[in-house]
Structure 1
Amino acid sequence: MSTFDFLAQPSLPRPDVTVDDAVRIAAEFFGLRGEIVELGSQQDRNFRIDTGAGRFVLKLANPVFSADELHAQNAALVALAGSGVRIPGIVPALDGSDLVAVDVRGQTLLTRVLHYLDGEPLTGVAAPSSEQLRTLGTLAGRVAAGLAGLEHPGLERTTQWDARIAGEVVDLLLDHVASPAQRRVIRAATDDALARLAPLRAVLRRQAVHGDVTDDNIVLGTAAGDGPGVIDFGDVANGWLVGELAATVASALHHVPDAPLSVLDTIEAFAAEAPLDDADLAALWPLVVLRGAVLVVSGEQQVALDGDNLYADENRAHEWLAFDLARRLDADELEALIRWRLAGVPAGADATAVGGGRMVALDSSAAHLADLSVTSHALDDGAWLHPDAEAQLLDTIAAREGHALTRFGEHRLSRATIDRSAASATLALSVSLRVPAGATVSAPFAGLLERSGDAWVLHGDTADLWLDGLERHESGVTSVATSVAAGDQLGTTTMLTVQLSRLRGHRPPAVVTPAAPPALWRAISPDPSALFGVELAAPDDDPDAVLARRDGSFARVQEHYFEHPPLIERGWRHHLVDTRAQSYIDMVNNVTAVGHAHPRLVNAVRDQWALLNTNSRFHYEELACFSERLAALAPDPLDTVFLVNSGSEAVDLALRLAQTHTGERTILAATEAYHGWTVGADAVSSSIGDNPRALETRPDWVRLVASPHTFRGRYRGASSAAAYLADLDADLAALDAAGIRPAGFIAEPVFGNAGGVMLPDGYLHGVYERIRARGGVCIADEVQVGYGRLGHYFWGSEQQGVVPDIITVAKAMGNGHPLGAVITTRAIADSFAAEGSFFSSAGGSPVSSTVGLTVLDIMRDERLQQNAVAVGDHLADRLRELGDRHPLIGAVHGLGLYLGVELMRDRETLEPATAEAALICDRMLAEGVVVQPTGDHKNVLKIKPPLVLTEQSADRFADALDLVLSTL
């Protein structure tokens, strides 16, 4: 009988078998009666029978599988007897056969019964121990070893789990993955893995394999003393030995999302039972990635074919997680780590004990080191993005000092990549020497020197020394290994890169990602400082230690983003970079409007600070220039400026101006708003997202009016202004009746704290008219939404077609420097004299004024308001398109580069997706994006990046969000 070929018949819906059918078949053909429940299966039907005297599994195979294939599965069980693996026993039918054909509603199904193996599956263990991970590997290894000699005609089958056709399976099933973002990722990872695998295919060992020794199919030991066991031999076939291990590793990954390298325990345990050869080690991680890809596409196909298959449906989330973890880990790094683990170096072995003398006689006793770290000023002004940044810095230092060296174990900013979708390889395991005049290179220890590709390698007793840039001057064949003694001349160099490796015959990557601890890499690739006679090791990086210090002395109510935040020490334009040289697109920093570390701003501040910085009671021109500039930007009749240190101070001052000018105390403010932290600014802030007790604790001089929230408010839509104004009329009538006249009204012209929600058309016009009719002052809080951020308007109040009496502004105007302003009329400003003079120590200082002027110059010259229109509108379109495909997105708010993505569980009830928003922000960090939630329900992703955001980065953000939403 022919055996199954998945590529010829890729659709395998489970046979239609009910529990009643199983009851009949078990009794009629096997004489088994008892309680029967269905077990999960991808393509077959399995039922557990509990007779009281024992438990069994009734297995009805998919009709595409032949009798030969099922007999081969039984043969595998026989072959593993005595292997040390607990396996199911075969239960014969009443006629003595181990396989019977049964009829189920006209369909013939081949049926078997096996003993049921008691024990908890590893699937049910949320966080397996190292011992349990090793048990998984041990079982898989013993099964592989036990099946090595098995031959059977039923093994010549091609299932979808056969690692040899993984690429073809992905090609065939990829369209079943609905999400375009997921399809792109699967396609890219599959193609990369196949390319790595291509040169190894012909040499990978082939034998009978179980094919599915996974967390689903192993059971742990029982209280009765039974050892761990393996079930479900339905995928037994000929295949690659290392494919067996790849399936096992892929199944373990989703259990250890925070420590994926824990699967090294599984790999080591497998290799102890079924040793791996050189080709296996090179192929293993690409096969893990391919196994993950096949799991994802197969799961989606099976759910499409078999809608009530809860087993396949429930597995989809952890199958994606396993694939995602696998594809994010660099295959070259994993190969080196696996080889190291299997090399069996004793724990605690001295990683520096490689011996050796000086390789190069440097021209001075001092080490002239090139600082390539994240905080290196040699890489300022974006120099770190130049492709030759390292060579240029080495050349500069060497020309000045006679030589230059890089540091070992340094996270190099020069290796960071922007708009990344995976971790950047930045940790240097090699060092480079630049000597303009050339230098002689000597052997630091005895060994065999041979050519390996473009490099040379010196094989010593305890380590290999890899050399790039060594110039040999011998004649003859250079591929033959040459014996050299310590101190022998190896050649000369002008640029030499050196890497030590304790992986004999295998070179680790010269630069690695932060996936594995630096100490582990130092053990594999030791510090070569001794070979140069100078200290080359970079200082250790420990973000957790710095966080502990922060929490020890910094008030903890001053929160930080993320539970385990990266240690950010550099910014450039709309990117942030942590101390491990991992970049992040900054989607939340409306403070830095013109971008991080703008060279023009840096130089202006440096120059002014070198001249003068004092308080504004002194007379200097910068203050006049900046005040004139702000007044000119404000709409008529606003013409007078106060300069302060922050938005909170600006709001506080605005409230005092309103009260002083009118002689009244009462301020009207909209609910759900945040205006600042000072006593006055906090008094008019009512966001329960920032203060859960806000609505209960407002002082008596603050009266809250209903937030005209066009999406979640009492009335909804852009035309809801009349209804909100009617409610305001009732509020004002109550104040009139009580003899209370308002001093003023304050609101953001766009609800920034709610995520950029636009006010209903005409709302502020109606409010301002009513407040002014009662002698009050109208305050527009433009701290977040003004200053060009909306793109289409410089001030948010322009969008509402109104001119406020007072504008408050901060954040963007200082680009991170503490700077705020109140812009009003001369009459309102002069009325403050009733309370004496006004003074702010740093407000309007020479440096602050220089900052403010330079920011405005940059915004004008670089057309950043226009960029907010172009990039903001493009991003909003991308986000709305995501909303068409992802039900979790309920709305996209805002304008320009102040946007909000509102997440909800139900578009009818508007139930906020608060937990999902937090999860999305955490996952976006892994995608290289910083984004945070806002709003009273913390369910709106606030998008307010520096105004220099590019379309490329905006697209990267949208692509990352698409992928994350697809995997929730």
Structure 2
Amino acid sequence: MPNFDFLTQPALPRPDVTADDAVAIAAERFGLQGRIIELGSNQDRNFRVDTGDARYVLKLANPVFSADELRAQNAALAALTGSGIRIPEVIATLDDQELVEVDVRGVTLLARVLRYLDGDPLTDVGRPTPEQLRTLGTLAGRVAAGLSALRHPGLDRSTQWDARIGGEVVDLLLEHVEQPAKRRVVRDATDAALGRLAPLRDRLRVQAVHGDVTDDNIVLGDGGPGVIDFGDVSDGWLVAELAATVTSALHHVPDEPLAVLDVIDAFHAEAPLDDSDLAALWPLVVLRGAVLVVSGEQQVALEADNIYAAENRAHEWVAFDVARRLDADEVETLIRARLAASTAAQQPAAPARPAIAPLVSLSTTAANLADLSVTSRELDAGAWLRPDAEDAILARICREHGHAITRFGEARLTRASTDRSLPSRTVALAVTLEAPTGVDVIAPFDGELSLSGGSWLLRGDGLELWLDGLTRPLTTATVRAGDTIGTAIRLTAQLSTLSGHRPPAFVTPTLPFSEWAAVSPDPSALFGIELTVEAPDPDASLARRDATFATVQEHYFAHPPLVERGWRHHLVDTRAQTYIDMVNNVTQIGHGHPRLVEAVRDQWARLNTNSRFHYDELSRFTERLAEIAPEGLDTVFLVNSGSEAVDLALRLAQIHTDRRTILAVTEAYHGWTMASDAVSSSLGDNPRALETRPDWVKLVAAPNSLRGIHTGPDAGPAYLADLDADLAALDAAGIEVAGYIAEPVFGNAGGLMLPDGYLAGVYERIRARGGVCIADEVQVGYGRLGHYFWGSEQQGVVPDVITIAKAMGNGQPLGAVITRREIAESFAAEGSFFSSAGGSPVSSVVGLTVLDVMRDEGLQQNAATVGDHLADRLRGLGERHPLVGAVHGMGLYLGMELVLDRETLAPATAEAAVVCERMLAEGCIVQPTGDYKNVLKIKPPLCITRESADRFVDALDLVLATL
């Protein structure tokens, strides 16, 4: 029988062997009797036999495996005898055979027995200690070293775990990954890994390898650590042995992936890695993770009852996901640095690093330093997205000050990418000097200067200097500190402590900067000025915030990024990582709009005062608001916020009617002032809301067509009937209604649309009793619905009072109440109304400019077209993900309701929180809302593009697929 070839026979269901079969085989062929327990396996059948005196493992191999392959496994065990590793002992049959054929219901299987290795699998230890990680690496290294001389005909086999065919395995099994989002990520990561491996394949060493020295197969016991399960022994790449081990460790330390450097370091001490191994290691880790993912899905598809395979899928995905998110160049560099440090520690004391002299003879001051950070004024108005942004800033500094230098450790905004799925390389480890008139370049220390890969490399004792842009004759040379080694106009310099390996010039902020500073030291001494600048620590900044800012004022996320810039529908943190802003209905026309910036700057320069002064901007703004208001609403109050607007609207209703009672719907949020909070009953914002309403507020059932008393699109009449009963009870009690307030679309519930005809019926009933109808449009109005400017338009009604804020100021404190003249004039009964900043010149200019931009850039139409596309794609997610219970809303006010069960609608509150946290890692900001905090509120700036909307949905698809 030939040895196994996975590519010709990829489907390997386990042989049909029961516990009773195992009892008979153990007794009849091996003389073992005792309690039988089946152990997990992907493709074979393994049973533990406990005789009372000892324990054994009966292994029945899949019939596709040859006798030679199983004998090779026993040969591997023999090769490791005396290696200091606990390994299973081979137990012979009653007739002294290591391997025996058995018949199980007409199928011939090969059986053998090993002594059970006592101990707890490393899988069960939770988060491993550094010592345990080193144990993992040491065992893998010793196994690799012990098998290096093994030769056996059974090793010439092709299993799915052979990294040499990893790409073909993924090709073959990828279809078993059901979720398209996961398939896409596995495909992309595999292709990237194979691309990096392609030039290395022929240089990687081949030998006998265990193939699976992983946390599952290492046991910790009184006799020391041991290795089990030699079922994957074959010829393979030496470094792939380590890749398998590292991959198994990653799911234990997903938040601290560099912990696996302990594994690598310990392996290298036992089985030294060469240059090609180091270049191939991380691509092989990614490839191993991809193979684990597709293999696990295939095995579950073959055997739905394979609990072992099913339970492994979660941590296999975590390992793959962690590996593919790390930049391979960065990890390779840090691996080399760790191994170099370990080697140096074992050597006699190395000579001290050379002192660094200046690289150029220039008088440099702070004026020569280029600010390319997230807060740079020169990168406003989206200038950071221009390909020549850095060149433009350097050229400006050179014109004014002669030469320019970039900074070290700076997270450059100019290197940020939008709509990203992985972190951007933004942190500079190299610095650039721009000197248009040219400058002599001087050797900063003694060394050998040579050309390496297009760059000049100066090798000193324990320190190297990489130079780009150096002009000199193409010769190598031994140079002394102070020698002129060439000239330059644009010179890029990077120091390195790694021999012959240049660190990346830019790195992601994923890994600690302290790690990079040790590999690529501060080059300030080369230029005679402090060049180092690090981004602020978000956690330290959060601690400062909590020290003086009342913590009941919430912040998004457990560990929020420190956001210091916005542009259009993107936010940027201080590490120059961008995020698609999917929650900011405050920022209607987008972040940092140049037109708004200019208008505000100009107005501030001229005048900003309170609205009791007379200036034209106020009347221009109120005229515009009256023009866009529904017919009949012609008078405007200007305030500072939505809460104030709602508060004022309630007072107007009470004053105008000379009554106190306000009807409000449950589940709503209207603001934080005394009055607006009084009509807010959202349990998500206040768990005691229903029991703490004042007596002048009467709550009526929210017409929630998904979760309410009555459900479905035709629930309007039933809710109106309930309202009739509520009103009749008030009439009977002699209580007269001053007004009714509700959002025309339930924003707090994530954009839930009201049943058709509901609001018209309510308004008719309220007005029949002399009450005032208030539409809270703070969240849902002002063009956000796309197909309607006002939310009340969608319901076919005209309110008596509209409250607005948020969108109208694009982040500037600005709110308004729009009503009829007679209602407004009623306020005179309680004196005059005044808001110091409401309607100030700057606020008025902001409001006018927002309306102008919305008109000129077609943002309401964009809300309709992009919003419809986004809603369609979100509904498509519901076809693949059972967690998606419903998609609410219209235009760019949408909500995705997450439920544990579509029948019971049990809210998926915890899952929604996890989704939002994971979306942050995907470069998207989204947050939960609703009474159960289970609705993802999706309300981005109206300028969002279709491309960014698609990126958001793709990210959400992946997060839901891996939840």
TM-score bracket for the superposition, by shorter chain length? over 0.9
Distance between the aligned counterparts of 1:430 and 1:312, measured in 2? Answer: 46
Q: 1:897 to 1:500 in 2, by over 3 A?
A: same
Aligned to 2:557: 562
* Residue number in structure 2 paired with 1:803: 798
Cα distance in 2 between the residues matched to 1:252 and 1:539:
31
Residue 276 (structure 2) aligns with: 279
Query: Counterpart of 2:377?
Result: 377
1:313 counterpart residue number: 310
C-alpha displacement of 1:485? 1.3
| Equivalent residue pairs, number | 960
Matching residue of 1:681:
676
User: For residue 431 of structure 1, what is the aligned residue in structure 2?
Assistant: 431
TM-score by structure 2 length? 0.99
Structure 2 residue 405 is the aligned partner of structure 1 residue 443? no
Unaligned runs of 5+ in 1: none
SS at match of 2:739: strand
Task: Give the alignment partner of residue 615 of structure 2, picking from 612, 620, 623.
Answer: 620
Structure 2 residue ranges without an equivalent (≥5): none
Q: Distance in 1 between matches of 2:677 and 2:225?
A: 62
The 8 Å contact of residues 814 and 855 in structure 1, kept in 2 or not, is answered as yes
* Matching residue's letter, 2:427: L
The alpha-carbon distance between structure 1 residues 41 and 409, as it changes in their structure 2 partners (threshold 3 A), is: same
CA distance in 2 between partners of 1:364 and 1:387 (Å): 27
Task: Please name the residue that 1:269 is paired with.
Answer: 266
Asked if 1:104 corresponds to 2:104, the answer is: yes
- Corresponding residue to 1:708 among 703, 708, 714: 703
- Aligned match of 2:688: 693
3-state SS of paired residue (1:308):
coil
- What letter corresponds to residue 936 of structure 1 in structure 2? D
Shift of residue 351, structure 1, vs aligned partner? 14
Please name the residue that 1:415 is paired with: 415
Mapped partners of 1:231, 1:323: distance in 2: 23
Residues 296 and 320, structure 1, Cα contact 8 Å, conserved in 2: yes
Does 2:322 align with 1:325? yes
Matched, 1:757 2:752: yes
User: SS state of the match for residue 194, structure 2?
Assistant: helix
Partner Cα separation in structure 1 for residue 307 and residue 734 of structure 2: 67
Partner of 1:22: 22
Which residue pairs with 1:141 in the alignment? 141
CA separation in 1, counterparts of 2:556 and 2:120? 39
How far is the alpha carbon of 1:539 from its aligned partner?
4.0
Task: Tell me how far apart the structure 2 counterparts of residues 129 and 661 of structure 1 sit (CA, whole Å).
Answer: 71
- The correspondence for 2:949, drawn from 922, 946, 954, is 954
Amino acid of the structure 2 residue aligned with 1:875: L
Residue 534 of structure 1, aligned match among 529, 532, 543: 529
In structure 2, the partner of 1:520 is 515
Contact 2:427-2:575 within 8 A present in 1 as well: yes
Q: Would the aligned equivalents of 1:351 and 1:522 in 2 still touch at CA under 8 Å?
A: no
Structure 1 residue 350: deviation in Å?
13
Shift of 1:34: 1.1
CA deviation digits over 1:434-476, x for unaligned, max 9? 011111111111111111122111111121100011111x2xx
1:745 is aligned with what amino acid?
A: Y
Name 1:115's counterpart in structure 2. Answer: 115
Is the CA contact (8 Å cut-off) linking 1:806 and 1:823 kept in structure 2? yes
1:253 to 239, 250, 254: 250
Q: Distance in 1 between matches of 2:274 and 2:171?
A: 29
Question: What is the one-letter code of the residue matched to 1:421?
Answer: S
Whether 1:240 aligns to 2:250 is: no
Paired with 1:46 and 1:431, the residues of 2 have a C-alpha distance of: 59
The CA distance in 2 between the partners of 1:350 and 1:958, in whole Å, is: 54
Match of 1:391 in 2: 391
Q: Say which SS state the counterpart of residue 900 (structure 2) adopts.
A: strand
Match of 1:824 in 2: 819
Give the match's secondary structure for 1:157: coil
Letter in 2 for 1:143: V
Could you tell me whether the CA contact under 8 Å between 2:351 and 2:461 is conserved in 1?
A: no
Contact 2:411 2:534 in 1 (8 A): no
User: Is the Cα–Cα contact under 8 Å of residues 645 and 816 in structure 2 kept in the other structure?
Assistant: yes
- Residue of structure 1 equivalent to 2:728: 733
Separation in structure 2 between the aligned mates of residue 758 and residue 35 of structure 1, nearest angstrom? 62
Alpha-carbon separation, structure 1, partners of 2:72 and 2:365 = 72
**Alignment correspondent of 2:403:** 403
Checking the alignment, whether the CA contact within 8 Å between 1:750 and 1:796 is kept in structure 2 is yes
The answer (yes or no) to whether the contact 1:367–1:405 under 8 Å persists in 2 is: no
547 and 103 in structure 1: CA distance in 2 versus 1, 3 angstrom threshold:
same
CA distance in 2, matches of 1:454, 1:274: 33
| Partner AA of 2:30 in structure 1 | F
Letter in 2 for 1:51: T
Q: Is the 8 A contact 1:921 1:931 kept in 2?
A: yes
**Over residues 714-770 of structure 1, what are the superposed CA-to-partner deviations in whole Å (9 max), with x where a residue is unaligned?**
111221100000000000000000011100000000000000000000000000000
Letter in 2 for 1:958: V
Q: Which residue of structure 2 aligns with residue 503 of structure 1?
A: 498
CA distance in 1, matches of 2:127, 2:278: 26
The answer for the alignment partner of 2:644 in structure 1 is: 649
Q: Which secondary structure state, in structure 1, belongs to the residue aligned with residue 120 of structure 2? A: coil
Distance 1:489 1:322 in 2: 50
1:861 aligned to 2:856?
yes
Indicate if the aligned counterparts of 1:363 and 1:403 stay in contact, CA closer than 8 A.
no
Alpha-carbon separation, structure 1, partners of 2:381 and 2:311? 50
Q: CA deviation at 1:354?
A: 4.6
Cα distance in 1 for residues equivalent to 2:457 and 2:274? 22
Q: Is the 8 A contact 1:292 1:319 kept in 2?
A: yes
Match of 1:127 in 2: 127
Q: How many angstroms apart in 2 are the aligned matches of 1:680 and 1:455?
A: 69
What's 1:82 paired with? 82
How much does 1:387 deviate? 1.4
Contact 2:637 2:817 in 1 (8 A): yes
Q: Verify: 1:63 aligned to 2:58, yes or no.
A: no
Quote the sequence identity (%).
75
Match of 1:194 in 2: 194
Equivalent of residue 540 in structure 2, options 542, 545, 562: 545
TM-score, with structure 1 as normaliser = 0.98
Measured in 2, the distance between the counterparts of 1:118 and 1:836 equals: 86
Residues 258-287 of structure 1: per-residue CA shift (max 9 Å, x gap): 111111111111111111000000000000
Deviation for aligned residue 1:416:
0.5
Is the counterpart of residue 841 in structure 1 residue 836 in structure 2? yes
How big is the shift at 1:541?
Answer: 2.2
Give the counterpart of 1:231 among 228, 233, 242.
228
> CA separation of 1:670/1:519 partners in 2, compared to 1, >3 Å: closer, same or farther?
same
Q: 1:488 aligns with which of 473, 483, 487?
A: 483
Residue 579 of structure 1: aligned partner: 574
Structure 2 CA distance for aligned equivalents of residues 125 and 833 of structure 1:
73
Whole-Å separation in 1 of the counterparts to 2:476 and 2:317: 47
**Partner residue of 1:927?**
922
Asked if structure 1 preserves the Cα contact closer than 8 Å seen for 2:600 and 2:842, the reply is yes
Residue correspondence of structure 1 range 280-299 to structure 2 within 5 A:
280-299=277-296
Confirm or deny: 8 A CA contact 2:364 2:527 kept in the other structure.
Answer: no
Q: CA deviation at 1:395?
A: 1.2
CA contact (8 A) 2:353 2:463 kept: no
Q: Deviations over 1:19-72 (max 9, x none)?
A: 111111111111111111111101000011111101111100000000000000
Query: In 1, Cα distance between the equivalents of 2:153 and 2:112?
Result: 19
What CA distance in whole angstroms lies between the structure 2 residues aligned with 1:165 and 1:834? 85
Per the TM alignment, residue 126 of structure 1 is displaced from its structure 2 partner at its CA by 2.1
1:909 to 904, 908, 913: 904
Give the 4+ runs in structure 1 shifted more than 2 A.
349-354, 363-367
2:272 partner amino acid: P
> Structure 1 counterpart of 2:730, which letter?
L
Distance apart, 1:482 and its partner CA: 1.6
> Which AA in structure 1 matches 2:259?
S
Kindly provide the amino acid, as one letter, of the partner of residue 767 in structure 1: V
